[in-house]
Amino acid sequence: MTAPKITFVGAGSVVFTQGLLADLFGYPELGDVHIALHDIDQERLATALAAAKRIAAERGVKPVLTAHADRREALAGADFVVDMVQIGMGEATRVDFDVPARYGLRQTIGDTLGIGGIFRALRTFPFLKELGEDIAEVCPEAWLLNYTNPMAMNVQYLAEVTGSTRVVGLCHSVYWTVHGLADLVGVPFEEVTYVAAGVNHQAWVLRFEHRGTDLYPRLAELAGSDEQLRRRVRFDMFLRLGFYPTETSEHSAEYVPWYLKHDTEIERLRLPVGAYLDIVAENEAEYERTRRAVAAGEPLPVEGTSEYAPQIIHSMVTGTPRTVYGNVVNRGLIDNLPSGGVVEVPCLVDGTGVRPTRIGALPPQLAALNRAYLSANDLVVRAAIEDDPRHIRHAAMTDPATAAALPVERIWELCDDLVRAHGDRLQPALRAVL
């Protein structure tokens, strides 16, 4: 494959687009790619295009750069589609926090599981269905590289609705988790051998070694001597479960029933309730800084991100083999997790595509937590595919943190309020108040 066409859907996520382009343009073999940018927000699309031109110039490459308000036009002939949309943007995210907060339900990030993850998925599914249909018609051989959360729900929905086998969900959590652990134990990341597997934002570091020596005892020793480390959710889970989870403590607290319900645990583990609202505000401010810099002709930072999408594209174009972590449908990859659910596993990438690695069985305590996560995911997907609004409530009842915080009648009332609040963003059959 030479000079591939890469379509960015949701390119108005300008800062993230910049990072991906900096990575792509850092590969000499990809200097002449066609980057097609698409967004429904014209101002953000124009800003993304101007930023892309600036990054290309600073990298010294000459790609073809085009901007498209029409999605099918952007997709036509694409070899890769990078999806990074956020349906409803910050406004919808604030609804996901504000309405549950009135019920006393605490969230930190709200983009993966829990009540926030459920409704983020439900307002994203109609878009994903349309995107999948467009890809099938105008670029059927393209690989869809999805960054949009909730990752596992979205990838499962895409796989079931489109039947596509060329969908991979990408997340940086495994990479940066192991980076952080290597720093903690004082070993260069490049010298660490590791394997992780599970589900997105709740995968587990199953192997963590340096030159054949297990690094977990050193990590446990550090935790035993450092009270501040023990005041992190991830270390609390590591010491109790025996394996380290691959997402931040803010994320990890939301996927289990043990922490956010209890004031004492919030204090002990320093959990920032509502943290994602600050991230939303910072993202909006960062976009405004970028927009002003582009308009004024000021320099833009051009920094790589080590994200997986550019690595996958480079490997498939050049045949360079490498391992990345991908979110894919579980077809015999993890024995004690449900078939058809979406799991996060190492994937070999080369000129032939993306090939997930079979892991076998997870330790039973880890699989038990992952199964609860995947059960809630499946109910959300079933709600959309079967047009069954009751399954929205069933998913919320099944979700560990929601079930720990609220009695069942309040869970149903909360779902009714969120359905009303999100209104037309949901597919028609799911707008029912029960």
Residues annotated catalytic, as ranges? 172
Contact 328, 356 (CB under 8 A): yes
- Residue where the block lists tokens 């596993």: 345
User: What number of other Cβ atoms are within 10 A of residue 275's Cβ?
Assistant: 17
Distance CA 43, CA 124 (A): 22
- Return the C-alpha torsion angle 33, 39, 43, 44, nearest 10: -70
Contact 429, 387 (CB under 8 A): yes
DSSP run (H or E) holding 371:
helix 364-385
Q: Is 128 exposed, middle or buried (0-12, 13-18, 19+ CB in 10 A)?
A: buried
Phi-psi map region of 305: left, alpha, beta (phi>0 left; psi -120 to 50 alpha): alpha
Say if residues 87 and 150 touch (Cβ distance below 8 Å). no
User: What residues contact 7, with CB distance under 8 A and at least 6 apart?
Assistant: 36, 37, 38, 74, 75, 78, 80, 81, 82, 139, 142
Reading the block at residue 268, the tokens are 């002990």
**Nearest C-alpha neighbor of 237 from the set 368, 115, 325:** 368
The distance between the two most distant Cα atoms of the chain, rounded to a whole number of Å, is: 60
Q: Are 17 and 8 in contact (CB under 8 A)?
A: yes
Token couple for 296: 């004024």
Task: Determine the Cα–Cα distance for residues 261 and 267; give it in Å rounded to an integer.
Answer: 11
Nearest CA to 415 among 118, 93, 106, 150? 118
Nearest one of 326, 305, 290 to 23, comparing CA atoms: 305
Residue type, 237: M
